[in-house]
Chains A and B, each alone.
Chain A
């Protein structure tokens, strides 16, 4: 029992800090007098009181957390915080927003998915949109540490390849000897790039308010917008270019950004084994899709095709989910290819979703290894990333991860189809949620919202987002009976 109390103590502190983050929309609502302030007052009150109560009961449970406790803490943070984050939304929309939908919206924010059930965004109070943007930004912040420090420690899905102790491609990823210092360094980089993104967006022509909201949304690779038309609202190539640039940056490993910043040289980008593939695959796809659209006469001239292809491909591939046109109307191959990209293109240690480029590389190399093995049975061929050899147990972990990822997509898609949706909607919604991308196709396409789903379907999507974000195994571990056995 003691064990769980110590975890609860830490969680209570997180909750109290989270209540603190709600003060931002409160202040904004108070300044703008947008009529949503009461919603946050309630949110802060409930969150703070809950946190304080838990802390009162557990504050003397000071004990070092074990790795096993890490699983529980991570799962609690990502499943319970959205519930508290949902309070202001439910309170504001009362009684028009069910808990199911509100929780979906905040899970979508904190997992940096960007799928929304809300419409009429342009008419919502500024503070509500700000809260959504802030959730994504906070989610991204938590995610960086989750991805670069915590998951490697837990060894989820082959993540231990990033552990400093193990020989792996990213030895330097352990940037400083202590995890707390690492987190601070990464946050500093995240914060600095966010500031740059904010001013760039403002410069490109957004209002100050929109720039804040979209900075959060871009840096977390979420996809929430304050406009129903998303980037179609501005129809500005300049804004799109700035957004694409920062989406591309946020899709790379923040540990690499950190090293670049600390060493004052671009060399770490060159030695990051993922970065090259990430850029080549994504921007290669941009050209391919642009050509495809132009060839099929979806757009009259190539440059227009390139503009729309570039923005939407980068947005979906990095699992952001902005759109500047309804790409659902494109020939089906293009949006499907974009969804496919979203499932593996982003780098580990970024704020993106999917199985991550590094795992895709391991899967590819493992396949290639089997081919070679059948021709040269005596061959010794370790899997190498960035010149370093991967242990076989890591490769197995990655294989298991890839397998579970497929199983989840298939079974969730079947459940969605069983509940009455067409197959394209079912499949795309599941893929968009498990990759934390956002918009799917057909009924959940970029021009519509997830509000069309019933409660059952919404909960499937919510689970998919959480499973995708927590890299499947973190959640599976906590759900397994063995975890709770004494």
Chain B
């Protein structure tokens, strides 16, 4: 696939990183030559310097025969303009734009074919924010991901002594919580993946990935560790884009404190947040943390732009008694350095946010892609097309599908066509149209099912995609 990426910032770079390995022709456009040079030295791709929205630069980047344009510059206006230009002049088939300002997203007609011609818009800050909100809602989880419009969740939990399932084989989960249908998709023990079978014994310290209907998630997590009280007090260090969005989303249901060093930014925050308390100061200042009772915090979230600051402030907060600390870390080396040691959760914003971009790049019909374990593994939501003859997955029980080692089918979301099967008891009519089926060895995939697949290593992704592609011949 020929892909043009506009903008070599954080998002652009990580998109390039993850796509370059998948055998794509990538051209990156940016105004900053030093950025481009650094990128070119590191990755196998082409770079073009210039204004991303100008026709000549796009042409030089090969827009005429490109398949995909990913406009992720800092400026919404540049991204919009580039999409329109690419559509009008070069007939570029698929255009994705990053739009940070919610203003544009509120007017979808602006993005249609007659206007800015944006096929998909993404807002990385919002994606990261949503991701963190989930972690505040489920403080015990390492990661919570949603599929099929929120009906199915994949949750990563570290198993602890005291969870009923810990020390027992996985098959016991059926006896413990008979009403809940859950599937353990993968286990990482000392960072090595284990493909779980019914006899696998869960050990304390394991990182366990479970799939279940979203409403059952809490129940499943309780199997693996003692559940704490739900979080109530949240401290956010850094009131940037993510910190601000997060504070706004959380301030209604949590007691939120935001620490921001910049004077003007802190005034902006205080003016625009209704309930949250805005504090001006340095998040690594222990007197400030002490004075604001960091010890009583259920969650401490370090979300500044500065990796070192985030690491230091969250280490400090943890030592001073914060129950759970989370740090936003851009550099991969740092992430591996701190996670699971003293910082409870380290988040790499790029990996969180590019999943939705990757879904559009993949072959086959992919509805969602989520990076797991900082990009090492992946969870995909694929749509099974075709019928028994043309597809390798449709119409077969799962045990007969030729899955590569390390690939697990976790769940299926099936749209119920006939109204008879719809139960309208809870009033949730829409949700009842879809049924979540947790996969077992005898589950049969039907056409147009959304299949949630867990892949322990990214190397296996192309094989999975191939599996779900509809074959062309009949032999």
Chains A and B come from one and the same complex: yes
> What is A's interface to B at a CB cutoff of 8 Å?
372, 376-382, 384, 388-389
| B371 contacts the other chain (CB 8 A) | no
- CB pair A389–B271 under 8 Å, yes or no, is yes
Per-position 1/0 for B267-289, Cβ under 8 A of A: 10111000001111100000010
Q: Which of chain A's residues have a CB closer than 8 A to the CB of B260? A: 380
- CB pair A376–B271 under 8 Å, yes or no, is no
- Complex CA distance for A461 and B258, rounded to whole angstroms: 52
| B102 contacts the other chain (CB 8 A) | no
Once A376-B277, A376-B279 are accepted as A-B contacts, the answer to whether A382 and B291 lie under 8 Å apart by CB is no
Q: Which of chain A's residues have a CB closer than 8 A to the CB of B259? A: 378
Q: Which of chain A's residues have a CB closer than 8 A to the CB of B269? A: 380
- CB pair A378–B291 under 8 Å, yes or no, is yes
Partner of A380, one of B266, B288, B291, B292: B266
Residue of A whose beta carbon sits closest to that of B271:
A389
- Complex CA distance for A367 and B280, rounded to whole angstroms: 20
Residue of A whose beta carbon sits closest to that of B259:
A378
- Complex CA distance for A382 and B288, rounded to whole angstroms: 20
Once A381-B278, A382-B271, A384-B271 are accepted as A-B contacts, the answer to whether A376 and B292 lie under 8 Å apart by CB is yes
A388 to chain B, nearest CB (A): 8
Q: Which of chain B's residues have a CB closer than 8 A to the CB of A384? A: 271
Q: Which of chain B's residues have a CB closer than 8 A to the CB of A378? A: 259, 279-281, 288, 291-292
Subset of 5 A-B contacts with CB under 8 Å:
A377-B291, A380-B278, A380-B279, A380-B280, A381-B278
Residue of B whose beta carbon sits closest to that of A390:
B271
Interface residues on B, range: 10 to 19
B274 to chain A, nearest CB (A): 8
- Complex CA distance for A382 and B276, rounded to whole angstroms: 12
Q: Which of chain A's residues have a CB closer than 8 A to the CB of B280? A: 378-380
- Complex CA distance for A384 and B278, rounded to whole angstroms: 14
Q: Which of chain B's residues have a CB closer than 8 A to the CB of A381? A: 270, 277-278
Q: Which of chain B's residues have a CB closer than 8 A to the CB of A382? A: 267, 270-271
Q: Which of chain A's residues have a CB closer than 8 A to the CB of B291? A: 376-378
- Complex CA distance for A395 and B298, rounded to whole angstroms: 36
- Complex CA distance for A380 and B264, rounded to whole angstroms: 10
- Complex CA distance for A388 and B269, rounded to whole angstroms: 12
Per-position 1/0 for B409-438, Cβ under 8 A of A: 000000000000000000000000000000
Q: Which of chain B's residues have a CB closer than 8 A to the CB of A380? A: 260, 266-267, 269-270, 278-280
B91 to chain A, nearest CB (A): 46
Q: Which of chain B's residues have a CB closer than 8 A to the CB of A372? A: 277
A344 to chain B, nearest CB (A): 25
- Complex CA distance for A380 and B268, rounded to whole angstroms: 10
A385 to chain B, nearest CB (A): 11
- Complex CA distance for A382 and B281, rounded to whole angstroms: 16
Closest 6 CB pairs of A and B: A389-B271, A378-B279, A380-B270, A380-B278, A380-B266, A378-B281
Q: Which of A376, A378, A379, A380 has the most CB of B within 10 A?
A: A380
Q: Which of chain A's residues have a CB closer than 8 A to the CB of B279? A: 376, 378-380
- Complex CA distance for A380 and B325, rounded to whole angstroms: 24
B233 to chain A, nearest CB (A): 14
- Complex CA distance for A379 and B278, rounded to whole angstroms: 5
Q: Which of chain B's residues have a CB closer than 8 A to the CB of A377? A: 291
Residue of A whose beta carbon sits closest to that of B265:
A380
- Complex CA distance for A382 and B269, rounded to whole angstroms: 10
B269 to chain A, nearest CB (A): 7
Q: Which of chain A's residues have a CB closer than 8 A to the CB of B288? A: 378
- Complex CA distance for A384 and B269, rounded to whole angstroms: 12
- CB pair B271–A379 under 8 Å, yes or no, is no
Q: Which of chain A's residues have a CB closer than 8 A to the CB of B266? A: 380
- Complex CA distance for A372 and B278, rounded to whole angstroms: 11
Taking CB atoms and an 8 Å cut-off, the chain B residues in 231-280 that contact chain A are: 259-260, 266-267, 269-271, 277-280
- Complex CA distance for A172 and B475, rounded to whole angstroms: 73
- Complex CA distance for A372 and B292, rounded to whole angstroms: 12
- Complex CA distance for A382 and B264, rounded to whole angstroms: 12
Q: Which of chain A's residues have a CB closer than 8 A to the CB of B281? A: 378
- Complex CA distance for A367 and B291, rounded to whole angstroms: 22
Taking CB atoms and an 8 Å cut-off, the chain B residues in 198-233 that contact chain A are: none
Residue of B whose beta carbon sits closest to that of A372:
B277
- Complex CA distance for A384 and B276, rounded to whole angstroms: 13
Known: A378-B291, A380-B260, A380-B279. 8 other contacts (CB 8 A): A378-B292, A381-B270, A381-B277, A382-B267, A382-B270, A382-B271, A384-B271, A389-B270
B276 to chain A, nearest CB (A): 11
- Complex CA distance for A437 and B251, rounded to whole angstroms: 43
Residue of A whose beta carbon sits closest to that of B277:
A379
- Complex CA distance for A378 and B271, rounded to whole angstroms: 16
Q: Which of chain A's residues have a CB closer than 8 A to the CB of B278? A: 379-381
B291 to chain A, nearest CB (A): 7
B408 to chain A, nearest CB (A): 49
Q: Which of chain B's residues have a CB closer than 8 A to the CB of A388? A: 271
B172 to chain A, nearest CB (A): 49
A435 to chain B, nearest CB (A): 33
